[in-house]
Amino acid sequence: MTYPLQDIRVLDFSRVLAGPFAARMLSDLGADVIKIEPPDGDVTRYWGHEIANIPGYFHQQNAGKRNICVDLRADGAQDLIFSLVEKADIVIENYRSDVMPRLGLGYDDLRGVNKEIIMLSISGFGSKGPESRRPAYAPVIHAEAGLVQRSTSLKGVPLHDLPLSIADTNASLHGLVGILAALHMRKTTGTGQHIDMAMIEATVATDDQLQYDLDRSHDTGPLPNEIWELPFGPVLISSDFRLLFRLLVSELDLPDPSNPDMALEKKIALRRQAVDEFMQTLDTPDKFTRAMKTINIAWGYVRDPHDLPSQPTLDARGTFTEVEDRDGGKRHVVQSPYHFSDATSGVRGPTAHRGEHYREVLSDWLDMDHDSADTLLENKILLYDPNWRHH
């Protein structure tokens, strides 16, 4: 085996981010991931720059997966899904908690077909509790989990959402941990698991700052990291200002402009002014990096995300790669971050059009001939139109 999970089969019923990201990571680790797309398409087919009818957001989260489009409400769809579940190891879905059971595809239904099936269900508020049927995207969880309020209160700015969907990706990654744990346990028990992953719970569990809020003790933590506007551009220095000042004085001979008799506020103001004036003398990246290396302080350039492919470490580690864009060219995609000593990981192919792999998937998984697969297409259980567009 070259890929760690190359003997694993996954049915991915999920949409948008929380489920698709988990399934994309499983694909990068070698699993055969089949995206079961609904007739109206994943909503992310509306988002991002489009090449060959594949928008950028959908491309990033679904590269390497094969795709069939199934109308789960059609007569005969449940039988088809059950046949696939018999061959599957993992099912991923991120509908509201009542949706899959209403379709006859809840965990109890699938377990009746395959007792070894592992099902990951990601929803905003989980399947148990008073809010189990609430719809939720990441911004809803950012608000409910206190992240929006904390960002505002600590920075003194108007209420605003976060610039990434951390609630989704937290739930994805915790879901991956659950899946891998269940795969390991299945070796002993011979049975699968249902993993009920609530986005709000995953977010709270991963929130390293929450203990300050619970104890009302933000004042006991370190001072926030600061961004300094230097002649060559902004940099973030990851240090308490008090430590930064002491190191500049002791290691780089910065004069202390204060004296013991000064009021604290004036002392702080003068020291900040002195540090700022010193920082402005570091007018090239080379001068700045030498100074930071001397005082052994962590720092980072404040980069435009558009330029991340040129970030030295990302470039050296092959974080950005290219796959076919389905239009005769190549398209960037971000790799999974797994680097093994004796195994392979990474995106394994381009992004699929809606439903395009129905023949090969049903042949590979169910030994179904093309005529039988085409009959499912004619009966509108499966859908595929190579010219279908989300517009």
3 state DSSP class of 196: strand
Of 75, 168, 283, 325, catalytic: 168
pLDDT of residue 156: 84
Instruction: Kindly report, residue by residue over 122-181, the tens digit of the pLDDT.
Output: 999 999 889 999 989 999 999 999 999 999 988 889 999 999 999 999 999 999 999 999
- The span from the CA of 253 to the CA of 249, in Å, is 5
Q: What CATH number is given for 9-209+311-383 in this structure?
A: 3.40.50.10540
| Six token digits for residue 17 | 């981010």
Instruction: Kindly report, residue by residue over 226-242, the tens digit of the pLDDT.
Output: 999 999 999 999 998 99
pLDDT band for position 390 (cuts 50, 70, 90): low
- The span from the CA of 96 to the CA of 196, in Å, is 11
Query: What pTM did the predictor assign?
Result: 0.92
Determine the average pLDDT of the residues in 191-205.
97
State yes or no: is 168 an active-site residue: yes
Determine the average pLDDT of the residues in 341-348.
95
Domain map (residue ranges) of the chain? 9-209+311-383, 222-304
* DSSP percent split of the chain into helix, strand, coil, nearest 5: 45, 15, 40
The string of DSSP codes covering 325-383 is -SSSSEEEEEPP----SS---S--S-PPPTTTTHHHHHHHHH---HHHHHHHHHTTSEE
Q: What's the fold here for domain 222-304?
A: formyl-coa transferase, domain 3 (3.30.1540)
Instruction: Kindly report, residue by residue over 73-127, the tens digit of the pLDDT.
Output: 999 999 999 999 999 999 999 999 899 999 999 999 999 999 999 999 999 999 9
pLDDT of residue 218: 87
